[in-house]
């Protein structure tokens, strides 16, 4: 199968502020060429009114938490919010997770995202839904509590997820330890050892709130980053951390030294009054910063388009300069930096020969995108979900002219509503 995308404004994300107008040839799921090649093709797409760029990487979310969208939105802080959320989570079953994951996948695709890093429960059901959707899932084997509980999850739960994944290389099962305030150091150590044995990565929340940091110092005499560094987590397994709102200079040096990626979640951090992550400082230190939406229960959506806009505006006002994070930098966070955080940058994250064809086409022929003076600014400051026209994952078309091809959205909406009504009756 050969697809020819013709005359697009291509943002390849291979070097800063670079774009060109040309063609993309997709063959057997990979990018055969970019430039002027006009190949004989099974399908030709006129992209003269489109921006083509790598599809987005949501490097931290809880996909099936779409169930709790618009629920308990005025809690005072993260801890109060979790006290409302944890009881709901105790009620969830396989069908809840499956149907919610289908809806979450639909929302990701509609906003141009084909890769996500998840941290949630009953994850074999998320794998099932994502296989149907056709996107990529870095699934988290969630860990909470202590080493004994971690052992149980490794022995009893992880095999079910791995069986659901099978030999599908669109998935990977990482160790996802929730946080230092829900998981003991020996839980982290056991999870990291398991991840190292399997050659995968560690995913965890880190320094999300001031209270988390203060409580960690009170209990262990160290910040969360220093605690995990002290027990050898960062040096033993590649790690990506969500939030990183409250990091000291020493914490940042720990992250830099250990090549830890930070996943910025601006909308969730703002909504839960957690604070503003020092993204400019991270980047100046050479720390890889990716972007994530967090869950739709604390965002309240999974749109990477919206998250890019929020990230750019928040960094501008936090640093009182528009140059704190330029549009190219923000797009990098949502594409190649996310791929790096997840260890997928040899496969995706840029549009170049040999990479797998994860591509999004953004329609610029609309009132909110005209005139197209700067495609980078247009993507970050002007674009909306309605402008996402076409989405490819491994060369497979998942969205065409804004219409989902792999998921029945109306059914996903209906069944998710049914599950939520049932949860409230339990």
Report the CATH number that the domain containing residue 316 is assigned in CATH: 3.20.20.140
Q: What sign does the dihedral 380-381-384-390 (CA atoms) show?
A: negative
List beta partners, residue 174: 140
* Domain region containing 364: 2-54+347-404
Rounded CA-CA distance 256/252 in Å is: 6
Q: Would you say how long the chain is, in residues?
A: 426
Rounded CA-CA distance 345/127 in Å is: 22
Mean pLDDT of 77-91: 91
Task: Give tens-digit pLDDT for 372-403.
Answer: 999 999 999 999 999 999 999 999 999 999 99
Q: What percent of the chain has pLDDT over 90?
A: 96
Backbone angles phi, psi at 333, to 5 degrees: -60, -35
Residue 36 pLDDT grade (very low, low, confident, very high; cuts 50, 70, 90): confident
For the chain, the first-to-last Cα distance in angstroms comes to: 49
Mean pLDDT of 47-72: 97
- 251 and 188, same structural domain? yes
- 162 and 93, same structural domain? yes
- 198 and 159, same structural domain? yes
| pLDDT higher than 90, residue 162 | yes
Residue 110 pLDDT grade (very low, low, confident, very high; cuts 50, 70, 90): very high
Rounded CA-CA distance 64/123 in Å is: 9
Stretch among 3-12, 58-67, 78-87 having the lowest mean pLDDT = 78-87
DSSP-assigned letters across all residues of 308-347? HHHHHHHHHHHHTSGGGS-HHHHHHHHTHHHHHHTT-TTT
Q: State the pLDDT at residue 37.
A: 79
Let me know if residue 411 belongs to a domain.
no
Mean pLDDT of 67-73: 95
Q: How far is CA 233 from CA 153, 187, 194, in A?
A: 19, 11, 12
Task: For the beta carbon of residue 173, count every other beta carbon within 10 angstroms.
Answer: 22
| pLDDT higher than 80, residue 272 | yes
Task: Count how many domains the chain has.
Answer: 2
Task: Give tens-digit pLDDT for 346-365.
Answer: 999 999 999 999 999 999 99
Mean pLDDT of 330-352: 98
- 163 and 91, same structural domain? yes
Q: Is the omega angle on the peptide bond into residue 421 within 30 degrees of 0, that is, cis?
A: no
Q: With beta carbons less than 8 A apart as the criterion, state whether 201 and 238 touch.
A: yes
Going by the DSSP 8-state scheme, the letter that residue 418 receives in this structure is: H
Residue 39 pLDDT grade (very low, low, confident, very high; cuts 50, 70, 90): confident
Q: State the pLDDT at residue 268.
A: 97
- 240 and 121, same structural domain? yes
Going by the DSSP 8-state scheme, the letter that residue 182 receives in this structure is: T
> Could you give the angle at which helices 123-133 and 94-110 cross, rounded to 10 degrees?
40
Q: State the pLDDT at residue 224.
A: 98
Mean pLDDT of 16-25: 97
User: CA-based angle 87:58:321, to the nearest 5?
Assistant: 110
- 104 and 35, same structural domain? no
| pLDDT higher than 80, residue 255 | yes
Let me know if residue 422 belongs to a domain.
no
| Three-state SS at 114 | strand
| pLDDT higher than 90, residue 196 | yes
Q: With beta carbons less than 8 A apart as the criterion, state whether 379 and 364 touch.
A: no
- 248 and 297, same structural domain? yes
List beta partners, residue 24: 5, 34
- 396 and 324, same structural domain? no
Let me know if residue 418 belongs to a domain.
no
- 377 and 333, same structural domain? no
Q: State the pLDDT at residue 195.
A: 98
Residue 78 pLDDT grade (very low, low, confident, very high; cuts 50, 70, 90): confident
Q: What's the token pair of residue 68? A: 């709790």
- 111 and 232, same structural domain? yes
Let me know if residue 230 belongs to a domain.
yes
Q: Could you tell me the CATH number of the domain that includes residue 384?
A: 2.30.40.10
Residue 319 pLDDT grade (very low, low, confident, very high; cuts 50, 70, 90): very high
Residue 38 pLDDT grade (very low, low, confident, very high; cuts 50, 70, 90): confident
- 126 and 29, same structural domain? no
Q: State the pLDDT at residue 270.
A: 97
Rounded CA-CA distance 256/52 in Å is: 32
**Start-end of H helices in 167-263:** 185-198, 210-220, 224-230, 233-236, 249-257
Task: Give tens-digit pLDDT for 306-316.
Answer: 999 999 999 99
Mean pLDDT of 268-285: 97
Q: How far is CA 141 from CA 122, 151, 176, 313, in A?
A: 9, 12, 5, 33
Q: State the pLDDT at residue 417.
A: 97
Rounded CA-CA distance 359/393 in Å is: 7
What is the C-alpha radius of gyration for the chain, rounded to an integer number of angstroms?
21
Let me know if residue 423 belongs to a domain.
no
- 311 and 354, same structural domain? no
Comparing CA positions, the residue from 6, 17, 35 lying closest to residue 351 is: 35
Rounded CA-CA distance 357/351 in Å is: 8
Let me know if residue 419 belongs to a domain.
no
């Amino acid at each position: 199968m050969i697809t020819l995308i013709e005359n697009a404004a291509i943002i390849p994300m291979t070097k800063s502020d670079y774009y060109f107008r040309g063609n993309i040839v997709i063959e057997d799921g990979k990018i055969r060429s970019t430039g002027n090649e006009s190949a004989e093709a099974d399908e030709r797409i006129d992209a003269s009114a489109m921006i083509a760029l790598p599809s987005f990487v949501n490097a931290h979310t809880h996909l099936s938490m779409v169930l709790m969208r618009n629920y308990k939105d005025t809690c005072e802080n993260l801890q109060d919010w979790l006290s409302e959320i944890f009881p709901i989570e105790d009620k969830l079953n396989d069908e809840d997770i499956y149907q919610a994951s289908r809806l979450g996948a639909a929302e990701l695709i509609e906003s141009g995202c084909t890769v996500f890093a998840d941290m949630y429960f009953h994850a074999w059901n998320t794998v099932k839904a994502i296989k149907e959707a056709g996107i990529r899932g870095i699934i988290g084997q969630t860990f909470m509590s202590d080493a004994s509980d971690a052992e149980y999850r490794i022995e009893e739960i992880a095999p079910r997820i791995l069986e659901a994944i099978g030999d599908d290389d669109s998935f990977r099962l990482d160790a996802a330890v929730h946080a230092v305030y829900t998981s003991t150091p020996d839980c982290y150590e056991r999870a990291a050892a398991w991840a190292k044995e399997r050659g995968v990565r560690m995913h965890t929340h880190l320094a999300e709130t001031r209270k988390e940091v203060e409580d960690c110092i009170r209990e262990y005499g160290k910040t969360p980053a220093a605690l995990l560094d002290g027990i050898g987590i960062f040096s033993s397994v590649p790690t990506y951390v969500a939030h990183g709102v409250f990091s000291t200079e020493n914490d940042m040096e720990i992250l830099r030294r250990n090549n830890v990626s930070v996943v910025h979640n601006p909308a969730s951090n703002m909504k839960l009054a957690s604070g503003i992550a020092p993204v400019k400082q991270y980047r100046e230190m050479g720390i890889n910063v990716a972007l994530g939406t967090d869950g739709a229960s604390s965002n309240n959506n999974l749109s990477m388009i919206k998250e890019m806009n929020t990230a750019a505006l928040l960094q501008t006002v936090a640093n009182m300069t528009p140059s704190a994070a330029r549009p190219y930098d923000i797009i990098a966070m949502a594409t190649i930096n996310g791929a790096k955080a997840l260890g997928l940058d040899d496969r995706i994250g840029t549009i170049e020969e040999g990479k797998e064809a994860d591509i999004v086409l953004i329609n610029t022929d609309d009132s909110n995108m005209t005139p197209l003076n700067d495609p980078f600014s247009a993507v970050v400051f002007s674009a909306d979900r309605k402008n996402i026209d076409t989405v490819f994952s491994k060369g497979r078309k998942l969205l065409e002219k804004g219409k989902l091809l792999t998921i029945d959205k109306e059914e996903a909406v209906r069944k998710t509503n049914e599950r939520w009504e049932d949860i409230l009756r339990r």
